[in-house]
Structure 1
Amino acid sequence: MRTRNVIVASASGLHARPARVFASAAAGTNVRIAKNGAEPVDASSILRVMSLGVAHGEEVTLCVEGDDTTALDRLAELLARDLDAE
């Protein structure tokens, strides 16, 4: 399993619009996302992403089975940007 830890840069964390942008980008991948070592959830599900309650500046862990590091890198870079400002 491959993982990436990322600090969420969006001013509102992963709520509403940033969660939608992130989940849409994760569609078609096997990437999962977790907060504080909790059980990872499907990163392509906006409701599951929002259920994590991730706030601005909190760290999340992205993980994927296998070697899909391209998806991990792309999603990690997305979370590191302020999606509210875009």
Structure 2
Amino acid sequence: MTERNVKIQSRVGLHARPAALFVQTAAKAPMDVTVGKPGGTPVNAKSILAVLGLDARHGEEVVLSAEGAGAEELLDSLETLLSTPEPEES
């Protein structure tokens, strides 16, 4: 099992658009993928309701995990999504 701790940089946290992009990326993977708060119960990263239910906010850390071929690459992609601040809206 590959795990990675990631700090959320989106100012809205893991909600709305960032959550949708996160779930879409996770859903493309053939393996099980989970996300959770440290010390909490991980949830299915392919479920928008489960991800939104985490109530993960800006500056909080989450634990990503996946197992199987391509897990490192998938976690790299998910980490990039979470650790990149959104551009300011004009």
Q: Tell me if both proteins adopt one fold, taking TM over 0.5 as the criterion.
A: yes
Q: Distance in 2 between matches of 1:76 and 1:26?
A: 11
> 1:18, CA displacement in angstroms?
1.0
What pairs with 1:46-65 in structure 2 (closer than 5 Å)? 46-65=48-67
**TM-score using structure 2 length:** 0.85
Structure 2: segments with no counterpart, 5+ residues? none
State the TM-score, normalized to the length of structure 1. 0.89
Q: Secondary structure at the match of 1:37?
A: coil
Runs of at least 4 residues off by over 6 Å: none
Distance 1:44 1:2, change over 3 A: same
Q: Contact 1:11 / 1:84 at 8 angstroms: preserved in 2? A: no
8 Å Cα contact 2:26/2:33 also seen in 1: yes
* Separation of aligned partners in 1, 2:43 and 2:87: 22
CA distance in 1, matches of 2:44, 2:11: 22
Once superposed, what is the RMSD of the aligned Cα atoms? 1.7
Identity %: 47
| Separation in structure 2 between the aligned mates of residue 69 and residue 51 of structure 1, nearest angstrom | 25
Task: State the match for 2:83 in structure 1.
Answer: 80
Amino acid at match of 1:34: G
Shift of 1:22: 0.8
**Cα distance in 2 for residues equivalent to 1:11 and 1:73:** 20
Structure 2: distance between partners of 1:83 and 1:34:
21
